[in-house]
Structure formats: C-alpha cells, structure tokens
A = this chain, B = another copy of it.
Amino acid sequence: MHDRAVGRGPRVVVVGAGFAGLAVVTGLRRTRARVLLIDRHPYHTFQPLLYQVATAGLNPGDVAFPARTLVRRGGRADFRQGRLTAVDWAARQVELADHGRVAYDYLVLAFGATTNYLGVAGAEQHGLPIYTLDDALAVRRRMFGSLERASAFGSDHGELTVVVVGGGATGIEMAGTLAELRAATLARDYPRLDAARARVVLVERRDHLLAGFPERLRRYALSALARRGVEVRLGESVARVGATEVVLGSGAVIPAGLVVWAAGVGADPLAGRLGCPQGPGGRICVGPDLRLADEPAVFVAGDLAAALGPDGAPLPQLAQPAIQMGRHIAAQIARLSQGGTTEPFRYRDRGIMATIGRRAAVAELSGGLQLTGTVAWVAWLGLHLVTLLGTRNRLSVLLNWAWRYLAWRRGSRVIVGG
C-alpha cells in the first residue's frame, strides 16, 4: 500500500533478458511497477534458432532483438547492460560489474544457464556449445574454416567430420541441419572435397534420442536422421574430447574437426556464488510460488529455477516453462505490491517440438496429439516465426527460410571475423 501512498510502483529488477525475464517485463507493463531489465548483452537472443545461425542459415541479427526497443514498449521499464556479480540481500541491492549498485523492492533472477560439460575431459576446451549468439558464430567460423583448409590443403584425417554430442532437441536439430548443409552445399561449393568424408556423427549416452518425447516420435527422429546420413551412436558416452578427435566410452575414436557440445546445460556458476540453495544441475531451489525460501522479495525463473512440474520432476530448460514462470512472477509481484499474497506456480504443458530438417519434425501437443513429418515441420516453422520478436526479424527469417527451403540455397554463408 506504501507504493500507492507515494503514487509510485515498486522497483523491480529483472536480471536476464531471456524468455523468462522478458515475460516478467511484459507481464508488469500494465502495472505501476518501475522495472529495470539487466543483461550482459544489449539484446534478447532467440535461442531456439541459434543452431541455424551456427549453420549459416540465418543472420545473427535475425535471432537477436534489442533489449531497449523491448523495454521501451512498456513505457516505464528501463534497461541497463551489465553483469551481475553479487546480491546484497540485506540492503536489497544487486551489484554489477564495474561497481554499479541497483536497489530493488523485488528481484527476479533469470540469468539462465551455461553449458554443462559433465566433467568430460577436454570438453570445455575443444567442444563448442551453441547456447549464446557468440557460441553460434564460433561454430560457424570453425565449420567453414575447416572446409576451406581441407579444400586448400586436402585432409586425410577427419577434419571434415562433425561430432554432435547430445541427442536432445538441440543435438538432433544441429545434426540434421549439418547433414542437409552437406547434401545441399558441400559437393556443389567444394568440388575438391569428398562429401562422403564429411561425416556427421551424433552421440547420445541414452539408448534413445529426445528424452521426454514419446517413443514413436523418437523412432521417427532416428530414422529421419539416418535418412539424412547422420551416424547416430546411441548408448555411447564421451570419454574425452581432443583437438582432433572424440574418444567414446567404448574406446572408439572418432576423428573430428568440430565437436558441437549439446549434451545439456547447467545453472550459471553465479547461482552458487550468490549463495542460493541449489538443486539438480545447480539450479536454484525455489518455493511453490518461485520465491527463494528465505528471501520473500526474490523470485527465480527460467533455466535457472529448479521449479517442479506436475510430475514432481524439475521442469525442462525450455522456452515454454521460462515464459510461464515469468508471467507467474509478474502476476505475483503485482499481487504483493498491492498487499496481497502469492499463488503457487502451475506449469501447463503446451507440448514439445523438435525439427530434424526440411519437412521433417516431431511434435507432441498438449492432449497427447503426436505429429511428424511435413505437418510437424510446418507447425514448427509457424510457431517459431510467430514467437520470434520483431516484425523485421520475422520477415528476415521468413526470407531466409524461403530461400533455403524453396530455392534450396544458402545466403548468409559468411564467416564474420574469420
């Protein structure tokens, strides 16, 4: 009530401009809250399409949206580029790198996750993740760099081989796209190279792909990858990643010029440094209303939060849970700032999707309806197009997709800063 008394809303600091943080900002638009969004980058990254930047199907600008344009829409919200270093719980202030301090009435931690190398030797050193925009561009540079070197000097070892570690959605999307890139581009643009030697190997330690998807969709994904010439190694763990090869648990050695690490994400180590209670994967433990147990003014959302689903298991680190958590938190802050109490968060599973490539995808919608092939693929394209931020980005992505899937060509195959 105090807020209303002085005629100003509570100061809400949101750390992280991902799906969760954005949902908080959007959800507080029509309230009197004074929102400050903080992120290391001045833009929101549409992570579901990063693998297409990595495979040169999209421009980096297509999957990034200026955070300032975004907060501006709210009117009252503001943005600051900065890196969170600590939280002064007592003083209710966040500390940013280079000595910035910002006071809050409510704090939302949504700075996401980082790549989880699972303690595999050499993985962090030689494996390339695709979790950030810079990651994706690094993969693109490495990939085309290997092709150019091999084309110039020839190669008898496996520098044309790409090993993708992890058979989740990111892994199969990456592997499938790489296989298509090979089919569509390699023989045509690199006549000196033997496309057959550009292997795409997908390694998954479980005995199936797409954990969390129904059996039928897993089988479809497996066969769709096989049709594209992806060598899928199920039930294989990675023992070591070297500069020029991947050693499997079975002892098998796969020479590789590029290792894409898609074996999962863990919470940002910052979570530990902040002294928050951590659960599975280092994610921060939260109460049913997504607040920290002993910090009633602090919420945690997205990949960072160890929120539990209806089945009692931690929610998958995907866009949908992040968005729903963000919306929930916005609503709770509005309630609290009006003297109300919080409600528990309930996740509504709207379904899951993954695409293997052109006219090949899998989707399970809420209600259990399962889609595969062209139907699922079109649904996937449509969903990602409408959820992508910014009309210009949508048009640009639409243009690039039309170019790629209709004209079957690659436009943005550029190694920026090679």
Binding site for B on A (CB under 8 A): 40-43, 59-62, 64, 66, 68-69, 72, 78, 80-82, 96, 98, 100, 133-134, 137, 144, 148-149, 151-153, 188-192, 390, 392-393, 395-396, 399-400, 403, 409-418
When the two chains form their complex, are residues B133 and A416 in contact, meaning their CB atoms are under 8 A apart? yes
- By a CB distance below 8 angstroms, the chain B residues around A416 are 60-61, 64, 133-134, 137, 416
Min C-beta distance of A345 to chain B, whole Å: 32
Contacts of A393 in B (CB 8 A): 411
Say which residue of B144, B392, B403 sits within 8 Å of A392 (CB atoms). Answer: B403
User: Is the CB–CB distance between A414 and B66 below 8 Å?
Assistant: yes
Oligomeric state, in copies: 2
Q: Are A414 and B191 in contact (CB under 8 A)?
A: no
Minimum CB–CB distance for A44 against chain B, Å: 10
A411 contacts across to B, CB distance below 8 A: 61, 390, 392-393, 396
For A102, the closest partner residue in chain B by CB is B152
Residues of B within 8 A of A81 (CB): 148-149, 151-152, 418
B396:A399 contact, CB within 8 angstroms? yes
A42-B144, A64-B414, A414-B43 given; A392·B396 CB < 8 A:
no
**Which chain B residue lies CB-closest to A414?**
B64
CB distance A392 to B409 under 8 Å? yes
Residues of B within 8 A of A43 (CB): 413-415
- Complex: how many Å from CA A69 to CA B189? 6
Is there an interface contact between A400 and B392, defined as CB atoms closer than 8 Å?
Answer: yes
Contacts of A137 in B (CB 8 A): 416-417
Cβ of A45 to closest chain B Cβ, rounded Å: 9
Query: Would you give the shortest CB distance from A46 to chain B, in whole angstroms?
Result: 11
Cα–Cα distance between A81 and B153 once the two chains are bound (Å)? 10
B417 touches A134 (CB 8 A): yes
The answer to whether A189 and B72 have CB atoms under 8 Å apart is yes
The interface residues of chain B lying within 8 Å CB-to-CB of A100 are 152-153
B-chain residues with CB within 8 Å of residue A190 when the two chains form the complex:
68
Q: Which residues of B contact A72 (CB under 8 A)?
A: 188-189
Taking the closest CB of chain B, its distance from the CB of A76, in whole angstroms, is 11
**Extra A-B contacts (20), CB below 8 Å, given A61-B416, A81-B418, A137-B417:** A41-B418, A42-B148, A43-B413, A59-B60, A59-B412, A60-B414, A66-B410, A68-B190, A69-B413, A80-B151, A81-B151, A96-B152, A133-B414, A133-B416, A134-B416, A392-B403, A392-B409, A392-B412, A396-B399, A399-B399
A36 to chain B, nearest CB (A): 11
Contacts of A144 in B (CB 8 A): 42
- Chain B residues whose C-beta falls within 8 Å of the C-beta of A409 in the assembled complex: 392
Residues of B within 8 A of A414 (CB): 42-43, 60-61, 64, 66, 133
Q: Is the pair A412, B61 in contact by a Cβ cutoff of 8 Å? A: yes
Q: Report the separation of the CA atoms of residues A133 and B141 in the bound assembly, to the nearest whole angstrom.
A: 14
The 8 closest A-B pairs by CB, nearest first: A392-B411, A61-B412, A81-B148, A59-B59, A68-B189, A64-B414, A59-B61, A134-B417
Q: What is the distance, in angstroms, from A17's C-beta to the closest C-beta of chain B?
A: 12
Set of chain B residues within 8 Å of A66, measured between Cβ atoms: 189, 410, 413-414
User: Could you jot down 15 A-B contacts, CB within 8 Å?
Assistant: A41-B415, A41-B418, A42-B148, A42-B415, A61-B412, A66-B413, A66-B414, A81-B148, A81-B418, A82-B152, A133-B414, A133-B417, A392-B400, A392-B403, A399-B399
Cα of A399 to Cα of B417 in the assembled complex, Å: 24
Nearest Cβ distance between residue A204 and chain B, in whole angstroms? 30
